[in-house]
Amino acid sequence: MYIEHRNLLLYVACRKFRIPDSDAENLIQEVFLSFLQTGTKIDNVRAWLVAAMCNASRHYWRAQGRTESLPDDFNDHSDPGSHGLADQFAMKMTVRQAIEYLQPRCRETLWLHYFEGRSAGDVARELETTSRYAEKLIHNCLKRVREIYMSITAVTR
């Protein structure tokens, strides 16, 4: 179970809560020790572990007395969206993994358009190409990242 869920929990601690790698592993251990001691049947193990990891991460920062430089949604306890918290983190982790498989030009295109919010025209100027080609590039790269995402999740399942 530790091996199955460890990377997701590490992602939650390090990416969402910006906890240093070295301390995150200790928190993961605490989460699993808590899990072993629940004394009750847990149906959705992944959801439980992710929620507990969020709890442990908040506890970590409270114990450190740190209140600055934390994410805006630091105190989010619940998931208002249709996906569960665990599913959301797993999805982001997989998208991140999928990006790593992209060609540099594709990665740059998606970064400019989706992360920086630049229009196809802006992306074209940045990549020194036409707007029409930039638009096609955006579409193709999104298609490609989805394909990789689907193949990763198909293997995981």
User: What residues make contact with another protein under the rule CB under 8 A?
Assistant: 2-3, 6-7, 10-11, 14-16, 21, 25, 27-34, 36-39, 42-44, 46-48, 51-52, 55-56, 59-60, 77-79, 84-86, 91-92, 95-96, 99, 110-111, 114-115, 117, 138-139, 142-143, 145-146, 149-150
- Least Å from the CB of residue 51 to another protein: 4
Query: Residue written as tokens 């969402």?
Result: 16
CA angle 146, 150, 154 (to 5 degrees): 175
**Which of residues 59 and 125 has its CB atom nearest to another protein in the complex?**
59
Query: Residue written as tokens 């409270």?
Result: 62
**Which of residues 11 and 124 has its CB atom nearest to another protein in the complex?**
11
**Which of residues 39 and 128 has its CB atom nearest to another protein in the complex?**
39
Query: Within 13 Å of residue 98, how many CA atoms lie on the same side as its CB?
Result: 23
**Which of residues 68 and 72 has its CB atom nearest to another protein in the complex?**
72
Query: Coil, strand or helix: which one is 41?
Result: coil
* Angstrom distance (rounded) from CA 79 to CA 85: 6
CB crowding 107-126: b at 16 or more within 10 Å, else e: ebbbebbeeeebebeebbee
- Least Å from the CB of residue 67 to another protein: 19
